[in-house]
Each structure stands twice: as structure tokens, then as C-alpha cells.
Amino acid sequence: MKNSLHLQVITYTLMTDKKEKILQSALVLFANEGVSATSTNKIAKLAGVSEGLIFRHYKSKKGLLNAIIENAEQKVNILFGDIMMQTDPKSVILKTIEFPFLIKKSEYNYWKLQFKLKWEEEYNNPNKMKPLLDKLTWAFTQLNYDFPALEAQYMLQTLESISTEILKGNLTNQQQFKQFLIHKYSA
Amino acid sequence: MKNSLHLQVITYTLMTDKKEKILQSALVLFANEGVSATSTNKIAKLAGVSEGLIFRHYKSKKGLLNAIIENAEQKVNILFGDIMMQTDPKSVILKTIEFPFLIKKSEYNYWKLQFKLKWEEEYNNPNKMKPLLDKLTWAFTQLNYDFPALEAQYMLQTLESISTEILKGNLTNQQQFKQFLIHKYSA
DNA sequence: AATTTAATAGTGAGTACTTACTTATTATAG
DNA sequence: CTATAATAAGTAAGTACTCACTATTAAATT
């Protein structure tokens, strides 16, 4: 079979099986070993494909990375979108707290890669969080918090670190911790 | 000059200038470009030494990394030690909050490297924080918080994320944020 | 104090192997 | 038949590391 139809929540994409296999294999390696530590040779072997095919489909190693990042950003936007569309301030807080705990195990590698890349200047874009930060500031304002902007910043930072710990496998008491946060914000 | 005397707060170490230069150059590159992305050739050039000298002094690239990590851990222990020796629960909280804001610019690379390495399974050791976690749990217990263990975990995570943002250069309102946290814990 | 001996610091060219990427060629689908 | 998918076999530059060698310093012996 040369082509297969893959449903991605936002767009339909036609991708050959092998092209897709390359993407998945690269994701696994990039996320767990790091981009520089992953050779195109390794990717090809894991994907069961000739090395040349990577370059036919993605032009360069960086092109492959960018393709993965685009995929990853879709997944972020889906979860973010759910928060952004809330109209009740309490729901905004609640959804935001729930956010790190909603990350599916099957998508860990996407998130791992994204968090790792934040350490590379080229891919670290703090402004990407701006809309969510504004939404949270609005929510805390509605709820009459003393320093809504700082509260928003505080919450975002906490959530980033919680996500990080979950992805590293360090947060063993996830549900307990989630309840604790909800209780703390009486959300 | 072959040898120079370097005062390191815990031990005195005799190191040749070039050996020291290798260490510093490697730190800069490891912290900012990543370990795998840094070649021994690059390190040698930045240090202004022959590549072979790296291996004479540190045996391998990994040996060099380990030497840097040892140095870095000393710096962590100094800051941690200050918190651990506090006897008043409020002081424990206050010192802990102040912790990320005490990181000197001149030592950013040490911390950057350590935080980056937490993503590599080999170097990620969550138990290293255990003593501090216990101390914080004790402090929150003394202060009659409802869930001292969770509060401690929460605070540690917050601090990790603040440190991270500072090191990435994303936290522009450091003093404001620090005051906000102190106010929040009335510390 | 002078001279030999030993040890360490440092170099530069070379090692086998890996890297990202290319090119020529063949297979396969519509 | 044509266009694209896929491969195998390249390439030049880079990789961590070694080796044979020299330079510098310290220690031991006169």
C-alpha cells in the first residue's frame, strides 16, 4: 500500500506509510535522546527505511524536526483552545489546572520534545503563552484576586513545571496533587 | 605559570591554567549548545589548547562532563545548605523563596547545564531534593498548613520553574515576582 | 649549586568511525 | 508511460580519541 489516509484532528493529510514511520521514529529518538544525539542513520534504522528517504521527504534533518514541531503544536493548540473558549473565570482556572494531567501517555514524546526544545534559544518563544496568560489574568481579575497578572504568571509557571515533572516520570501522586491545586484555588 | 591556586569554598584544588580553561570553555558550550552538540574540537579551540590535552586531563568527553557536574553540585549544595540550617519555619520558607533569585549571573551556565541534564535519564535524580522537601514539609507542619507535604512539593516545583525561567531569561520582573511570593506565604 | 632523573603538561598529526546529505538507479503505482 | 517512492552506494566533513613526541617543572643525587 503506497498511501494511507490519516485523520489528524485539524487537517487531513496524505502521507505514505514510510513517510509517517520516519516521523514517528524521529519523534521517539528526538524526544528521548535529544536532537543532536540522534543521527539520521538511527532514525532510518528504527523506521526500517533507507536513510536517503528521510531527505527525499523532509529535505534535511532540520526539516524533519520542523515537521514534527508543526505536528506537536497542533496538539498544544487543541488543549489550549479548550481553555481559551471558557467564559466562566472559575472554569478557566479549573481547566488550566487540569491541563497537565490531561496529557495522554501516547503523546508524551510530543510534549517531551517541546519542553526540551524550550532550552534552545531558537525554539524558545515565551510569547506563545501570551493569550493564555491574558485569559488567566482576566479570570483572576474577575475573581477579585489582589494581583491578577502575577497570579496568572505564577499559575502558568507552576503548570509548566508540573508538566515537566509528569513527563520526566517524577510526579507519582498525580491525582492527589491535582486535587490539592483545585482545592487551593477553590476551583 | 604552570600552576595556580584556586579557592573553591569547600576544597582547595591545584589546577593548571589550561586545565581550568578547558573546564570553563566546556561549561559554556555544554550549557548553551548542549553536550552532544559540542565537539571536543570546539572546546579545544575556545580554550585555546590542543584537542589532545582534553583527554590527557579528563580522559574522555564524559569525564570532562562529570568534572563539570561535580563543580556544579558544590554550588548547589552551598545554596541548599543555607536553607537546611535554618531553625525557624518561616525562615525556611523565606530562604527557599529567595533561592532562585540568589543565583549569580556568573554562575548561570552551571545551573543551566544542570537543569538541561535533568532531561537525560542518567542525570535526573529526583531524590536529590529529598532533604529540602523534608525540611519544607516540616516547616509547613509547624505553620499549621493543611497539607504540609503537598505544600512542600508545590513550593519546590514552583521554585524549579522560576529558576528555569530566570535562566532562560524569560522572567523580566524578578523582584516584583519575588515580593509576590513572599507576600503569598506571608514569609 | 649544579646536574641528572623522573614526572607531568602540552602539542599536532593521525586513527577508525560517524555525520548529514547526494546521486544514480530501480521499483511501483496510477 | 510517467511520476513519484524507495533504495544502495556513495561523499566530504566532522567525530571522539590515540600516539609519538617535545617542553616544562619538580625531585633526587651529586
Query: Would you state the cell numbers that stand for residue B10, as one nine-digit string?
Result: 569547600
Contact indicator for A75, A163 with CB cutoff of 8 Å: no
pLDDT score for A165: 95
State how far Cα B64 lies from the chain centre: 17
8 Å CB contact of B176 and A150: yes
pLDDT score for A187: 80
Digit-coded pLDDT (tens) for A22-31: 999 999 999 9
What is the rounded distance in angstroms from the CA atom of residue B106 to the CA atom of residue B117? 19
The CATH number of whichever domain residue A20 belongs to comes to: 1.10.357.10
Contact indicator for B158, A154 with CB cutoff of 8 Å: yes
Contact indicator for B72, B113 with CB cutoff of 8 Å: yes
Largest CA distance in chain B: 61
3-state secondary structure chain B: CCEEEEECCCCEEEEEHHHHHHHHHHHHHHHHHCCCCCCHHHHHHHHCCCHHHHHHHHCCHHHHHHHHHHHHHHHHHHHHHHHHCCCCHHHHHHHHHHHHHHCCHHHHHHHHHHHHHCCCHHHCCHHHHHHHHHHHHHHHHHCCCCCHHHHHHHHHHHHHHHHHHHHHCCCCCHHHHHHHHHHHCCC
CB atoms < 10 A from the CB of A47, how many? 22
What is the rounded distance in angstroms from the CA atom of residue B159 to the CA atom of residue B101? 10
What is the rounded distance in angstroms from the CA atom of residue A51 to the CA atom of residue A41? 6
Q: Quick one: closest CA in A to B162, which residue?
A: A157
pLDDT score for A15: 66
Mean residue pLDDT of chain A comes to 91
Query: Residue A105 is part of which domain span?
Result: 3-184
Axis-axis angle for helices B61-84, B108-117 (nearest 10): 100
- Mean pLDDT value of segment A112-134: 93
Please classify residue B157 by burial: count the beta carbons closer than 10 Å to its beta carbon, then call 0-12 exposed, 13-18 middle and 19+ buried.
Answer: buried
8 Å CB contact of A150 and B177: yes
User: Cα separations (Å) of B7 from A111, A176, B14, B24, B116?
Assistant: 42, 46, 9, 15, 27
The residue among A128, A127, A130, A134 whose CA lies nearest residue A89 is A134
Among positive and negative, which fits the CA dihedral A57, A61, A62, A67?
positive
| Chain B interface, Cβ < 8 Å to A | 34, 36-37, 112, 115-116, 118-120, 124, 126, 147, 150, 153-154, 157-158, 160-162, 164-165, 168, 170, 176-177, 180-181, 184
Contact indicator for B35, B44 with CB cutoff of 8 Å: no
Contact indicator for A25, A39 with CB cutoff of 8 Å: no
Span CA (B19) to C1' (C6), Å = 22
Check whether A3 has a pLDDT greater than 50: no
In what helix (H) or strand (E) does residue A12 lie, and over which residues does it extend? strand A12-16
* Chain A closest-CA separation from residue B2 CA (Å): 36
A7 falls in which pLDDT band (50, 70, 90)?
Answer: very low
Digit-coded pLDDT (tens) for A12-53: 345 679 999 999 999 999 999 999 999 999 999 999 999 999
What is the rounded distance in angstroms from the CA atom of residue B127 to the CA atom of residue B156? 13
pLDDT in single tens digits along all 187 residues of chain B = 334 333 333 234 467 799 999 999 999 999 999 999 999 999 999 999 999 999 999 999 999 999 999 999 999 999 899 999 999 999 999 999 999 999 999 999 999 999 999 999 899 998 999 999 999 999 999 999 999 999 999 999 999 999 999 999 999 999 999 999 999 999 8
Nucleotides of D under 7 A from a protein CB: 5-10, 14-20, 24-26
**Number of structural domains chain A divides into:** 1
**Sequence-ordered list of residues with C-beta below 8 angstroms from that of A179, at least 6 positions apart, any chain:** none
Digit-coded pLDDT (tens) for A125-166: 989 999 999 999 999 999 999 999 999 999 999 999 999 999
What is the rounded distance in angstroms from the CA atom of residue A93 to the CA atom of residue A83? 9
Residue with more model confidence, A64 or B10: A64
What is the rounded distance in angstroms from the CA atom of residue B34 to the CA atom of residue B27? 10
Residues 44-103 of chain A with CB under 7 A from strand C are 51-52, 55, 59-62
pLDDT score for A12: 39
pLDDT score for B8: 32
pLDDT score for A126: 87
In what helix (H) or strand (E) does residue A67 lie, and over which residues does it extend? helix A61-84
For chain A, how big is the Rg over CA atoms in Å? 19
Q: Nearest 5°: phi and psi at B24?
A: -65, -45
* Chain A closest-CA separation from residue B130 CA (Å): 12
Contact indicator for B101, B174 with CB cutoff of 8 Å: yes
**Global ipTM:** 0.90
- Mean pLDDT value of segment A69-78: 92
- Mean pLDDT value of segment A61-86: 94
